[in-house]
Amino acid sequence: MLTRKQRDILTLLIKHMEEHGVAPSFDELCDAAGLKSKSGIHRLMSGLEERGYIARLHNRARAVSVLRHADGSPYTGNPQPSASATSITHPATHDDVVEVPLLGKIAAGSPIAALSDHSNLMPVPQHMIGRGEYFALTIEGDSMIDAGILDGDTVLIERSDTAQTGDIVVALIDHEEATLKRLRRKTHSIALEPANARYETRIFGPDQVKIQGKLKGLIRQY
């Protein structure tokens, strides 16, 4: 049987994953639960794991998989790799790891220089990769925090020059600036929409924006 605090944390964990498609960080759980110390969250999460309500892959980002609801019934709503931002929910063996180019930083705030660094490679679990071509970027800024994408996160991008309205994309603006935003297509323009009320949606002509890829995964270091 769960304690009241364990039940509350499990409820918050499920709510965040269903709303954002990724597990929350300890900081986000602290804020949501009104706790001051991450050590308290750690104890509660450890208790949930020991009782078989969650599974964690230690030393990996957002590595939480919910196994049961608070009433003990099975939980089947963990984010899948096809979601806009996916979490790592099972261990990867050496044979299950692939390397993708880590192209540097991208702004989730004001746009920064276009991507050009192809010198670094990043290991990524095979289950996060489909049949397409992928690359990774480090997030700089906070304009996508309401989509669960934080400053310092690493995003996994499927290279593509097309996207649907509502997709989170890497957009190249005027051939020189790159940014991560949600795409909104309008009749004669393209809107790049943040996920933070402090930032404004930016509107461009269709010839000013080139789609470079779509968000397929997210990795966070705790």
Q: Establish if 156 belongs to a structural domain.
A: yes
Pair (58, 119) in one structural domain: no
Q: How far is CA 58 from CA 44, 64, 111, in A?
A: 15, 9, 33
Pair (109, 209) in one structural domain: yes
Q: Establish if 127 belongs to a structural domain.
A: yes
Pair (40, 144) in one structural domain: no
Q: Establish if 128 belongs to a structural domain.
A: yes
Pair (29, 111) in one structural domain: no
Q: Look at residue 119 in the predicted model and tell me its pLDDT.
A: 59
Pair (62, 100) in one structural domain: no
Pair (107, 40) in one structural domain: no
- How many domains, the chain? 2
Pair (43, 112) in one structural domain: no
CB 41 within 8 A of CB 29: yes
Q: Residues 58-92: pLDDT tens digits? A: 444 456 778 888 888 888 876 654 333 433 333 44
Active-site residue, from 84, 87, 181, 214: 181
Pair (201, 163) in one structural domain: yes
Q: Establish if 174 belongs to a structural domain.
A: yes
Q: Residues 111-124: pLDDT tens digits? A: 444 455 555 788 88
181 a catalytic residue: yes
Q: Look at residue 118 in the predicted model and tell me its pLDDT.
A: 53
Which parts of the chain sit beneath pLDDT 50?
58-61, 81-95, 111-114
Pair (107, 34) in one structural domain: no
Contacts of 53 (CB under 8 A, 6+ apart): 2, 6, 10, 66, 67, 68, 70
Active-site residue, from 25, 87, 143, 214: 143
Q: Look at residue 82 in the predicted model and tell me its pLDDT.
A: 38
Pair (98, 157) in one structural domain: yes
Q: Which domain holds residue 16?
A: 4-66
Q: Establish if 72 belongs to a structural domain.
A: no
Q: Look at residue 185 in the predicted model and tell me its pLDDT.
A: 92
